């Protein structure tokens, strides 16, 4: 059996599980059965796709006689698809394992179980599809399944609103992709990707396709300014689904972008790279700025996804720019960085959402200003969450550092670009990336510090208990993968070389043979990084320090009263809160924008009331883009409404005059 047939079988099995889940969702054992089944299936699919990626199984295609009559449904697996299938299925397996424990706390499992399996199947099918029709069908199936998961807890009006916004954005995105693939297919109507690849198109068509794909895949991935639904929808879903949506589904969108822009659209001019770079840089900075302002853990993580997608798109934009100028090695480096960041982000974002879900189960809270001190009550979760925070803050020796470092290496090659616009722009984007990385560090210091350190700010936080073993096992597994990717990145760089060779024409030199598992991506600059040595150094020096302190200073662990600034018996609420941590950055970056609104109400002299401080943080994209857009639509529909009530003769006149007007246009301009 070929790999593609096996993976299709896995997708079919997932759909079967979905049907089974509909039938028996209310049964007592439904939750473990369904998640156990998805765990086994996604694990098998992950192993198969990894084998295909490293060349153990041959790339293959398959045509099934379903779908459009006489055309059928085409599926194919190549290196790119294999890489993304591995990402999807590893994420899916981790989420299934986590949900074996987490899903027990679900009140309405029949609203989650069937769609969870269907969602996994949809994501697999999108990556496997090899013709425009099956691609769009799977894409829409994936969107609808995830929408059903977003509104799983539909009793909360916030979730219903999130589902509504998500549905609209998904519809717009699919429409843009439909138009893009329609333009690529041309009037011949041959929907297979092979035929699209063979076709030629004018620069204008290619430019329109690029913009449409940026809208279509960008709205799903969460590029600014189409990211508005992410911070609403990702927190609304159950946590293992949030992990899938944030960690994995956005990667499927990145896959869609790479497949269409790098593969199907043919060669693009250099400014396409500049456009993607600009949007990526903007997403990275605006996403992380908003993330730092959030007090809701899951919403914070959703905004941080926007930042990471921005980093991925910076890499992809660089790859486009280098490729357009024939710099294959540099393009390969940039694309390797983007692909590694795709993998890394899917790992640590899943880990962080699992952690947020564990805290949610233990305390019932998503607001970090009602947590605190959880490191004493949930030590394992805290440690694993800390690993995730370190990884996402791009600290060595974890995996986030590797991909961001590779991205910077690609940025450093920009002086060789011939266009002055790019020469100026790429370092500026590098500055944005550095800013985003620093702010991401601040964001996760805040998240970990406020939620896990300090004293409990609520009763729930004070009485929290460690979560079940399945959840911990899933988190530990993903944390381990984060560490492995960070320590031996050379193997992962080597694994994606077939992809870069296919889409950029170049590839990085083989890394696995370098001594001490070093990676040395760019031959020209000669810089290298060794995750293993960094890890060994950090581990050894930390152990040495601990041993020295314990040996020469004191053995005992002392517990003293918390420092109270000289005011005895202070309430835990006087601790540093999330918004106080974010205040300096907020004042510097967002003081004069519409994004934040601070208000201090001072009581009159002699009044015994307390002074009040209120802070409203909003996403400026709503006021700057969506509200004017909604206003325009409302205005138009209000004023076009009376067209519904014309007389018959007026309707006829309307037809007549529009026909005459069109003919006049033809007569004058043709």
Partner 1 sequence: MGLGLTFDVAHLLAGGLVLVSFLMITQHRLYALLNAFALQAVLLSLSVAWQAYVQHAPHLYVTAFIALVFKAIIVPVGLHRIIQRLGIHREIETVIGSGTTMLVGMGLVALSMTVMLKVTPGADPLAREDLAFALSVVLLGLLMMVSRRNAVSQVVGFMSLENGLVLAAAGARGMPLVVEISVAFSVLIAFFVIGVFLFRIRERFDTVDVQALDRFRGERR
- Does the protein bind partner 1 through residue 667 (CB under 8 A)? yes
**Contact region for partner 1 (CB under 8 A) — 212-220, 314-322, 358-366, 660-668?**
660-668
**434 burial class (0-12, 13-18, 19+ CB within 10 angstroms)?**
middle
The distance of closest approach from Cβ of residue 638 to partner 1 in the complex, given in angstroms and rounded to an integer, is: 17
The distance of closest approach from Cβ of residue 668 to partner 1 in the complex, given in angstroms and rounded to an integer, is: 9
Nearest residue (CB) to partner 1, 573 versus 663 = 663
The distance of closest approach from Cβ of residue 646 to partner 1 in the complex, given in angstroms and rounded to an integer, is: 9
Nearest residue (CB) to partner 1, 547 versus 657 = 657
Give the residues across from 519 on adjacent strands. 529
The distance of closest approach from Cβ of residue 652 to partner 1 in the complex, given in angstroms and rounded to an integer, is: 5
Do the beta carbons of residue 505 and residue 400 sit within 8 Å? Answer: no
Do the beta carbons of residue 356 and residue 336 sit within 8 Å? Answer: no
**Contact region for partner 1 (CB under 8 A) — 153-161, 169-177, 204-212, 650-658?**
650-658
C-alpha span between 339 and 521 (Å, rounded)? 14
What does the DSSP assignment read for 552-564? HT-------PPP-
- Does the protein bind partner 1 through residue 658 (CB under 8 A)? no
Nearest residue (CB) to partner 1, 629 versus 646 = 646
Nearest residue (CB) to partner 1, 541 versus 653 = 653
The distance of closest approach from Cβ of residue 656 to partner 1 in the complex, given in angstroms and rounded to an integer, is: 5
Of 82, 103, 107, nearest to 37 by C-alpha is 103
Do the beta carbons of residue 461 and residue 372 sit within 8 Å? Answer: yes
- Does the protein bind partner 1 through residue 653 (CB under 8 A)? yes
- Does the protein bind partner 1 through residue 580 (CB under 8 A)? no
Of 90, 108, 578, nearest to 351 by C-alpha is 90
- Does the protein bind partner 1 through residue 613 (CB under 8 A)? no
The distance of closest approach from Cβ of residue 664 to partner 1 in the complex, given in angstroms and rounded to an integer, is: 7
3-state secondary structure of 220: helix
Nearest residue (CB) to partner 1, 554 versus 670 = 670
Of 649, 19, 581, 561, nearest to 300 by C-alpha is 581
C-alpha span between 43 and 96 (Å, rounded)? 10
Q: Which residues contact 320 (CB under 8 A, 6 or more apart)?
A: 261, 262, 268, 270, 272, 273, 276, 331
The distance of closest approach from Cβ of residue 662 to partner 1 in the complex, given in angstroms and rounded to an integer, is: 9
The distance of closest approach from Cβ of residue 640 to partner 1 in the complex, given in angstroms and rounded to an integer, is: 17
Residue selected from 200, 513, 614, 670 as contacting partner 1 according to rule CB under 8 A? 670
Residue selected from 58, 510, 523, 659 as contacting partner 1 according to rule CB under 8 A? 659
3-state secondary structure of 150: helix
**Contact region for partner 1 (CB under 8 A) — 77-85, 205-213, 606-614, 656-664?**
656-664
Of 280, 272, 218, nearest to 250 by C-alpha is 218
For the packed helices 297-324 and 497-504, what is the interaxial angle rounded to 10 degrees?
50
Nearest residue (CB) to partner 1, 591 versus 664 = 664
**Contact region for partner 1 (CB under 8 A) — 112-120, 321-329, 460-468, 657-665?**
657-665
Do the beta carbons of residue 261 and residue 215 sit within 8 Å? Answer: no
Nearest residue (CB) to partner 1, 547 versus 656 = 656
- Does the protein bind partner 1 through residue 510 (CB under 8 A)? no
Chain centre distance of CA 239:
14
Nearest residue (CB) to partner 1, 576 versus 656 = 656
| Site for partner 1, residues 619 to 648, rule: CB under 8 A | 645, 647-648
**Contact region for partner 1 (CB under 8 A) — 191-199, 542-550, 632-640, 661-669?**
661-669
Do the beta carbons of residue 246 and residue 298 sit within 8 Å? Answer: no
Tell me the CA end-to-end span of the chain in Å, nearest whole number.
Answer: 57
Do the beta carbons of residue 535 and residue 387 sit within 8 Å? Answer: no
| Site for partner 1, residues 174 to 213, rule: CB under 8 A | none
Do the beta carbons of residue 362 and residue 465 sit within 8 Å? Answer: yes
The distance of closest approach from Cβ of residue 661 to partner 1 in the complex, given in angstroms and rounded to an integer, is: 10
The distance of closest approach from Cβ of residue 344 to partner 1 in the complex, given in angstroms and rounded to an integer, is: 57
C-alpha span between 480 and 469 (Å, rounded)? 16
**Contact region for partner 1 (CB under 8 A) — 17-25, 132-140, 395-403, 659-667?**
659-667
The distance of closest approach from Cβ of residue 434 to partner 1 in the complex, given in angstroms and rounded to an integer, is: 58
- Does the protein bind partner 1 through residue 649 (CB under 8 A)? yes
Nearest residue (CB) to partner 1, 512 versus 663 = 663
Residue selected from 29, 588, 604, 666 as contacting partner 1 according to rule CB under 8 A? 666
- 432: enclosing H helix or E strand: helix 420-452
The distance of closest approach from Cβ of residue 641 to partner 1 in the complex, given in angstroms and rounded to an integer, is: 12
Of 2, 85, 76, 15, nearest to 45 by C-alpha is 85
Nearest residue (CB) to partner 1, 70 versus 669 = 669
- Does the protein bind partner 1 through residue 664 (CB under 8 A)? yes
Q: How many residues of this chain interact with partner 1, rule: CB under 8 A?
A: 15
Nearest residue (CB) to partner 1, 611 versus 666 = 666
Nearest residue (CB) to partner 1, 1 versus 666 = 666
C-alpha span between 299 and 343 (Å, rounded)? 21
Question: What are the backbone angles phi and psi of residue 518, rounded to the nearest 5°?
Answer: -70, 155
Nearest residue (CB) to partner 1, 562 versus 652 = 652
C-alpha span between 228 and 170 (Å, rounded)? 11
- 340: enclosing H helix or E strand: helix 328-363
The distance of closest approach from Cβ of residue 202 to partner 1 in the complex, given in angstroms and rounded to an integer, is: 22
The distance of closest approach from Cβ of residue 639 to partner 1 in the complex, given in angstroms and rounded to an integer, is: 17
Chain centre distance of CA 348:
11
Nearest residue (CB) to partner 1, 588 versus 668 = 668
Question: What are the backbone angles phi and psi of residue 222, rounded to the nearest 5°?
Answer: 100, 35
Sites of contact with partner 1 (CB under 8 A) = 645, 647-649, 652-653, 655-656, 659-660, 663-664, 666-667, 670
């Amino acid at each position: 059996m070929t790999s593609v047939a096996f993976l299709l079988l896995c997708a079919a099995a997932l759909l079967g599980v979905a049907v089974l889940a509909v039938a028996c969702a209310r049964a007592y054992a439904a939750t473990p059965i369904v998640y156990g089944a998805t765990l086994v299936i996604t694990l098998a699919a992950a192993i198969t796709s990894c084998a295909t990626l490293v060349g153990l199984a041959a790339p293959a295609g398959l045509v099934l006689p379903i779908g459009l009559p006489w055309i059928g449904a085409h599926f194919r697996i190549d290196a790119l698809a294999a890489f993304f299938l591995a990402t999807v299925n590893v994420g899916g397996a981790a989420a299934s394992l986590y949900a074996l424990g987490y899903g027990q706390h679900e009140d309405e499992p029949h609203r989650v179980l069937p769609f969870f399996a269907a969602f996994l199947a949809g994501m697999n099918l999108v990556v496997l599809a090899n013709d425009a029709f099956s691609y769009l069908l799977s894409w829409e199936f994936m969107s609808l399944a995830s929408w059903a998961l977003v509104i799983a807890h539909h009793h909360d009006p916030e979730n219903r609103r999130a589902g509504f916004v998500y549905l609209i954005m998904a519809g717009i995105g699919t429409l843009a992709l439909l138009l893009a693939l329609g333009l690529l297919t041309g009037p011949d109507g041959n929907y297979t990707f092979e035929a699209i690849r063979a076709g030629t198109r004018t620069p204008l068509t290619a430019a329109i396709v690029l913009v449409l794909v940026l809208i279509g895949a960008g709205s799903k991935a969460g590029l600014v300014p189409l990211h508005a639904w992410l911070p609403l929808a990702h927190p609304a879903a159950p946590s293992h689904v949030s992990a899938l949506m944030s960690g994995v589904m956005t990667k499927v969108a990145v896959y869609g972008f790479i497949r269409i822009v790098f593969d199907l659209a043919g060669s693009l001019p250099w400014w396409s790279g500049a456009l993607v770079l600009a949007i990526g840089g903007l997403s990275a900075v605006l996403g992380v700025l908003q993330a730092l302002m959030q007090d809701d853990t899951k919403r914070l993580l959703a905004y941080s996804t926007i930042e990471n997608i921005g980093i991925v798109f910076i890499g992809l934009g660089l790859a486009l720019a280098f490729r357009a100028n024939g710099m294959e090695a540099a393009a390969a480096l940039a694309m390797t960085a983007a692909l590694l960041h795709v993998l890394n982000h899917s790992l640590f974002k899943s880990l962080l959402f699992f952690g947020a879900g564990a805290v949610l189960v233990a305390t019932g809270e998503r607001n970090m200003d009602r947590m605190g001190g959880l490191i004493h009550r949930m030590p394992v979760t805290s440690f694993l969450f800390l690993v995730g925070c370190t990884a996402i803050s791009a600290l060595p020796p974890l995996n986030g550092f590797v991909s961001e470092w590779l991205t910077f290496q690609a940025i450093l090659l920009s002086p060789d670009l011939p266009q002055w616009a790019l020469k100026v722009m790429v370092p500026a984007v590098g500055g944005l990336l550095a800013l985003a990385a620093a702010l991401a560090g601040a964001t996760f210091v805040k998240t970990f510090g406020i939620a896990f350190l300090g004293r409990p700010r609520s009763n729930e936080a004070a009485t929290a208990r460690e979560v079940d073993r399945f959840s911990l096992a899933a988190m530990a597994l993903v944390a381990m993968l984060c560490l492995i990717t960070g320590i031996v990145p050379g193997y992962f760089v080597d694994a994606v070389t077939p992809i870069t060779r296919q889409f950029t024409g170049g590839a990085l030199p083989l890394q696995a043979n370098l001594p001490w598992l070093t990676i040395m991506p760019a031959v020209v600059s000669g810089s290298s990084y060794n995750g293993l040595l960094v890890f060994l150094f950090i581990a050894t020096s930390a152990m040495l320090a601990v041993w020295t302190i314990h040996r020469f200073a004191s053995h005992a662990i002392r517990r003293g009263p918390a420092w109270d600034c000289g005011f005895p018996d202070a309430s835990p609420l006087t601790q540093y809160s999330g918004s106080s941590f974010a205040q300096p950055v907020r004042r510097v970056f967002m003081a004069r924008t519409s994004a934040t609104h601070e208000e201090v109400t001072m009581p009159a002299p002699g009044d015994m009331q307390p002074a009040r401080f209120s802070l409203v943080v909003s996403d400026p994209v709503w006021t700057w883009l969506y509200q004017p857009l909604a206003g325009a639509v409302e205005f138009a529909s209000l004023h076009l409404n009376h067209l519904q009530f014309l007389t018959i003769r007026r309707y006829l006149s309307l037809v007549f005059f529009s026909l005459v007007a069109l003919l006049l246009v033809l007569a004058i301009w043709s």
